Amino acid sequence: MLPSFEDVTLSIPRPHVLLVTLNKPDKRNAVNSAMDRHLVATWDFYEKSDDLWCCVVTGAGSAFCAGLDLAEIARIKSVGQAADRLFGGFAGLTFKSGLNKPIIAAVNGPAYGGGFELVLACDIILSSTDAQFGLWEVKRGIAPISGGAVHLPRVIGYHNAMLVMLTGRNYTATEMKDFGLVQTIVEPESLLNTALALAEEIAGNSPDGVRVAKACAKVGLELGWDRANVDALLVPEVAAMFAGSNIREGVRAFKEKRPPSWSPPLDTQSWTVWTMGCGLWSLSKWAALTRGTTTTGIFVGGSLAAAAVALYVAKTGRRR
């Protein structure tokens, strides 16, 4: 059963596709603390649902998201209250790590402040022709520190990001496509169907392959090229892919000339996955010795069992 919230609407309009609609059109979908909690619960639900493989997020009414409800800022009276807002990110997503299922932003209207930061936290961005994007924070005496200042330079480059952040201007969908942020622009009436069709296409692929591709891409953004090539193979999603059935099903379906029948990916916390992960780690160490590739160097010796336990603890701790 889908969670039910007054300000966030969830539905499954296509097979294995979750549609998340920000549902406060009278407030231009601005996020207050209650809505933020509901979005945290939404992303946790999506992450833990075996049969949901792709997600689309959009806004009800004429706006995508106007950012943080400014009344929330006015109510902050203590350092503790400020910390709750700062260190939790925006809309439950901008600081969330470990979510390796794809999220498509269907930007149906203005995405300002935190709303823009929410867009940046998504993996693919589709926009209507009348959408606008802006980081207004500098005009309000604050700064885009819920993910915008970190994510935007990685996506559109340092100098373009400085132009966007330091002026606080609004930018059109076309301008953002020129910057490299938006992938596709469509008419407003076609946006949701276009996004859902894309999500259905992605969900039609191996869920293991999709989440491994995202996990490895994230590693590549964080590390140097030589280290990332090896470390990307050590993310638990890779071990789950090799230990699971979808990798064999994909080959069988190709040989038998039929559509594949995908299964939910294995839980990355399972012992089967960690055993496979330990084997991949051993292979990476062998590659480091014989081919000169670079690894994290977490382990320098000891038994395979000890390595498996250490890997399990390290990876589990990193995700908390």
Query: What's the pLDDT tens digit per position in 171-193?
Result: 999 999 999 999 999 999 999 99
Domain membership of residue 2 (yes or no) is no
For residue 120, what is the domain's CATH number? 3.90.226.10
Query: Are 234 and 121 in the same domain?
Result: no
Give residue 159's pLDDT.
97
49/196 same-domain check: yes
Same domain, 31 and 143: yes
Domain closes at, from 203, 223, 257: 203
pLDDT of residue 65: 98
Is residue 286 over pLDDT 60?
no
99 and 148 belong to one structural domain: yes
pLDDT at 275: 74
The reply to whether 140 falls in a domain is yes
311 CB contacts (<8 Å, ≥6 apart)? 274, 277, 278, 281, 298, 299
pLDDT in tens, 146-171: 888 888 999 999 999 999 999 999 99
- Over residues 38-64, the mean pLDDT reads 97
Instruction: Indicate if 211 and 196 belong to the same structural domain.
Output: no
Q: Point out the residues that are catalytic.
A: 117, 137
Domain co-membership, 196 together with 215: no
pLDDT of residue 250: 80
Return the top range by mean pLDDT from 6-10, 68-72, 307-311.
6-10
Reported as half-sphere exposure (CB side, CA atoms, 13 A), residue 39 has a value of 29
- Verify that 196 and 214 share a domain, yes or no: no
How many domains would you assign to the chain? 2
Query: Is residue 1 a part of any domain in this protein?
Result: no
Q: Helix count (H) and strand count (E) of the chain? A: 14, 9
Q: Tell me the mean pLDDT in the region 36-49.
A: 95
Residues whose CB is less than 8 angstroms from the CB of residue 185 and which lie 6 or more positions away in sequence, other chains included: 126, 127, 128, 129, 173, 174, 177
Q: Given this model, what pLDDT does residue 298 score? A: 37
What is the rounded CA–CA span in Å between residue 235 and residue 221?
Answer: 14
Give the other-Cβ count within 10 Å of 279's Cβ: 15
Identify the domain containing residue 67 by its residue range.
8-203
3 state SS of 235: coil
Residues 73 and 196 in one domain: yes
In this structure, is residue 231 part of a structural domain?
A: yes
pLDDT at 71 over 80: no
* Claim to verify: residue 156 and residue 237 sit in the same structural domain: no
Greater pLDDT, 112 or 262? 112
Using DSSP's 3-state secondary structure scheme, residue 30 falls into: coil
- Of 35-49, 213-227, 298-312, the one with minimum mean pLDDT is 298-312
Is the confidence at residue 141, as pLDDT, over 60? Answer: yes
Per-residue pLDDT, 138: 83
**Over the chain, what is the mean pLDDT?**
83
User: Of the ranges 37-51, 63-77, 133-147, which one carries the lowest mean pLDDT score?
Assistant: 63-77
In whole angstroms, give the CA distance from residue 127 to residue 223.
30
Residue 129 and residue 221 in one domain: no
Same domain, 132 and 179: yes
Say if 3 falls within a structural domain.
no
Which whole number is the average pLDDT over 296-304?
38
